[in-house]
Structure 1
């Protein structure tokens, strides 16, 4: 994968307006990678859906704070709650693709990936009634092992991806990858926009949300978000999941201790903490921050 400079916007990189971009990965609690070893995809319909209710709570939270965000949505969820998709659009947010069923890109062939992203894009556009331009890979799984992924996204009509989390992690990431938005395919204005990171004591760390955000006190997380804003020329892209504001979700007892800690830590405090972070910065949709024309 082509790399951009780490400290300044590359000369051939995309322009950006808006410093803070909010995003949400619309998936249910049993669809996360932490539980993929104990919850198979063919068992998903046996679980009671909570994602509609929790995503609508997120919509209300954004409304209270005058925030517009990007909703990377699973096609599997969209099929089962079409009114949720229409509500996301009607309330002024960007509808984007998270693939159909949360399969990582690096676990698919080029042909399987192409079929997945085309199917999901067409489904979301049919339900939402608007063009879908953005994509986020399950588990931030576009990396050096998938050199064809961005080309396939371009062929399918996407305009950007936010599928890179440029840190060292046991499930994903590349600590040497670009921290800034860049054009991964020569001759195309398709953008890869990594989620937020910053450097601290010589080590690159995430400031993008998820378990990291829930694990640390707000005094620390907000300082690191501001540090990323000061150091990155591109937008600070934050993300979270609807299940992270759902402390009443069923507990999956068969999960490993490590997975339980990652998934359940500080769920009860997440919504109030997020409410304060939403107030602290002028959050916008990713397509707006990347200066893409919006409908």
Structure 2
């Protein structure tokens, strides 16, 4: 086990809110869907408690409005409460004005419900990039946030900014710090090593070896993320979703919880604001 602590994070959203299903599940239908996020997140909290791990919960304002007791438990058990926006809309699709309104609304709901300051933000589907949303980090700072963990420095058909720095940085001097998702360099490119669907799809040993390499060879902490629905193999199936979308969403769900338990044991973990506290609190952090 590395002496470094890595950052464990959870993107708190329900199964029907994922980007992969937007073509077959409309926002207007959300209220009528079976909500499983509360039960699943309580299960995640139980797993963390058993492993004596504190994490960061990037939570939708939409979820916090409907499950305030869940938000209070997250805070009461020592985890960091952070924002995933309100309505799980991609930043690069809604534009600057709607983005500002979304993150302001989410932060207000989370702070009112949790009773703690909310300083962290993660964009839905990692939809922040230097090319498409150059204003995002400045808007986050103006709205009271202090860091973002919204950039994935990989090439992917749904997200990613392969030219982004792999380490904490400040994309613009008037903006918040960016804590990018963890990658490893191999074959001349950055490969994902931060959780999500890749963790469910690929052999566990690849994530373990990649994270150990980041910790030991590079001397850097990593960031890991997953969603509460990923430990729920009994969740409903999205009717009409394409083959690729179904594969991405449902692959490895039955094995996910056991893998997660193993990961919690194999590495040291902490909250985003604690693991990356120096970077978050350093306004002089080199601009990208």
Q: TM-score by structure 2 length?
A: 0.93
CA-based RMSD of the aligned residues comes to: 1.6
Partner in structure 2 of residue 84 of structure 1? 70
| Superposed displacement of residue 174, structure 1 | 1.4
**Contact preservation (8 Å) 1:207, 1:228:** no
Number of residues of Structure 1 aligned to a counterpart in Structure 2: 277
Structure 1 gap segments, 5+ residues each: 1-16
What secondary structure is seen at the aligned counterpart in 1 of 2:141?
helix
Aligned equivalents of 2:4, 2:217: Cα separation in 1: 15
Aligned equivalents of 1:187, 1:232: Cα separation in 2: 28
| Superposed displacement of residue 187, structure 1 | 5.2
Aligned equivalents of 2:54, 2:184: Cα separation in 1: 24
Partner in structure 1 of residue 55 of structure 2? 69
List per-residue Cα deviations over 1:245-280 (Å, max 9, x = no partner): 000001113110001110000100000110000011
What secondary structure is seen at the aligned counterpart in 1 of 2:197?
helix
Partner in structure 1 of residue 99 of structure 2? 113
**Contact preservation (8 Å) 1:24, 1:240:** yes
Partner in structure 1 of residue 286 of structure 2? none
Which residue of 117, 125, 140 maps to 1:153? 140
**Contact preservation (8 Å) 1:72, 1:136:** yes
Structure 2 gap segments, 5+ residues each: 282-288
1:48 corresponds to 2:54: no
Partner in structure 1 of residue 266 of structure 2? 280
| Superposed displacement of residue 204, structure 1 | 1.3
1:35 corresponds to 2:21: yes
Partner in structure 1 of residue 171 of structure 2? 184
| Superposed displacement of residue 231, structure 1 | 4.5
Q: TM-score by structure 1 length?
A: 0.91
Aligned equivalents of 1:178, 1:52: Cα separation in 2: 35
Partner in structure 2 of residue 238 of structure 1? 224
| Superposed displacement of residue 200, structure 1 | 1.6
